[in-house]
């Protein structure tokens, strides 16, 4: 009989294991049973920590956020535009580290208040720049939702960097849509160069926020 002691089972360890497994099986294949097998425990042991899969996803999203901000610091000299660019670039990069990362993050509720410090800092910066609190919330939320939606669609085509799902061959798409020439050509704009596409879209969002609220 092995005398090696296993690490105690806690929420953090389960979430860490789930995130590692996520890159192998994706969100659809991520079951409590599969996670329990990976941890070498019985599935009911996980229910001491998570009442259901959504509770686990909440903890996974929280752990993703912890990792995203670990060691990162916000520059108090940022303009509001620079801050929106930085936080949303960082969010996209963090989500792309995980297969279905955007789907896990979307709709999840943080299990702690680790996000409050960054949120407070962002709101303080935007209100100091001339936004009302309500406008600052709308600005931050709109940019966040753009990023979350963009990465969800991006990962639908490229689940992980270097991977591409079958059925997204741009040339084949153009051939099938030959009777719709503009739509056929649009495929290269929609399904390629996601980095450039994201940056241009985020810039459009930020310009629109400034124009809507009259803040330079």
Q: 90 is in which domain, residue-wise?
A: 11-213
Crossing angle (nearest 10°) for helices 194-213 and 133-157: 160
pLDDT tens per residue, range 200-212: 999 999 999 999 9
Per-residue pLDDT band for 5 (boundaries 50, 70, 90) equals very low
- CATH (domain of 151): 1.10.357.10
Please give the distance of CA 84 from its chain centroid, rounded to a whole number.
15
Q: Is residue 4 part of a domain?
A: no
Q: Is residue 1 part of a domain?
A: no
Q: Is residue 108 part of a domain?
A: yes
Inter-CA distances, 34 with 15, 91, 166, Å = 13, 27, 26
pLDDT tens per residue, range 40-71: 898 788 877 888 889 999 999 999 999 999 87
- Residue 175 half-sphere exposure toward CB, CA atoms < 13 A: 6
Q: Is residue 196 part of a domain?
A: yes
- For 74-100, what is the mean pLDDT? 95
Task: Kindly give, in sequence order, each residue whose CB lies less than 8 Å from that of residue 83, ignoring residues fewer than 6 positions away.
Answer: 74, 122, 125, 126
Q: Is residue 3 part of a domain?
A: no
Q: What is the pLDDT of residue 45?
A: 83
Q: What is the pLDDT of residue 1?
A: 32
pTM above 0.85, yes or no: yes
Give the helix ranges, DSSP H, for 40-193: 43-46, 53-69, 80-95, 101-105, 116-128, 133-157, 170-176, 181-191
d(CA 104, CA 78): 29
pLDDT tens per residue, range 166-205: 888 999 999 999 999 999 999 999 999 999 999 999 999 9
d(CA 29, CA 172): 29
Q: Is residue 83 part of a domain?
A: yes
Q: What is the pLDDT of residue 4?
A: 38
Q: Is residue 5 part of a domain?
A: no
pLDDT tens per residue, range 151-162: 999 999 999 888
- Ranked by mean pLDDT, the top range of 44-48, 115-119, 129-133, 171-175 is 129-133
Domain total for the chain? Answer: 1
Q: What is the pLDDT of residue 6?
A: 59
Nearest residue to 11 via CA among 44, 35, 39, 46: 46
Q: What is the pLDDT of residue 7?
A: 65
Per-residue pLDDT band for 10 (boundaries 50, 70, 90) equals confident
Q: What is the pLDDT of residue 98?
A: 96
pLDDT tens per residue, range 15-35: 999 999 999 999 999 998 899
30 in Cβ contact with 18 (< 8 Å): yes
Q: Is residue 201 part of a domain?
A: yes
Which contacts of 122-129 are long-range, i.e. CB under 8 A and separated by 24 or more positions?
122/74, 122/83, 122/87, 125/76, 125/78, 125/80, 125/83, 126/80, 126/83, 129/79, 129/80, 129/215
How many CB atoms within 10 Å of residue 33? 10
């Amino acid at each position: 009989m092995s005398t090696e002691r296993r690490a105690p089972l806690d929420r953090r360890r389960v979430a860490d294991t789930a995130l590692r497994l996520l890159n192998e099986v994706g969100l659809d294949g991520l079951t409590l049973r599969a996670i329990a097998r990976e941890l070498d425990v019985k599935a009911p042991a996980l229910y001491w920590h998570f009442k259901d899969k959504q509770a686990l996803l909440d903890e996974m999203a929280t752990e993703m956020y912890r990792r995203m901000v670990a060691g990162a610091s916000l520059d108090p000299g940022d303009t509001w535009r620079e801050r929106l660019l930085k936080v949303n670039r960082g969010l996209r990069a963090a989500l792309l580290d995980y297969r279905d990362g955007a789907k896990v993050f979307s709709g999840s509720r943080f299990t702690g208040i680790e996000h409050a410090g960054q949120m407070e800092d962002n709101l303080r910066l935007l209100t100091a720049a001339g936004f009302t609190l309500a406008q600052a919330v709308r600005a931050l939320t709109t940019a966040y939702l753009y990023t979350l939606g963009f990465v969800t669609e991006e990962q639908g085509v490229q689940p992980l960097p270097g991977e591409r799902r079958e059925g997204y061959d741009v040339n084949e798409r153009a051939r099938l849509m030959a009777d719709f020439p503009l739509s056929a050509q649009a495929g290269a704009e929609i399904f390629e160069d996601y980095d450039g596409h994201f940056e241009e879209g985020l810039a459009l969002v930020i310009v629109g926020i400034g124009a809507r609220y009259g803040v330079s």
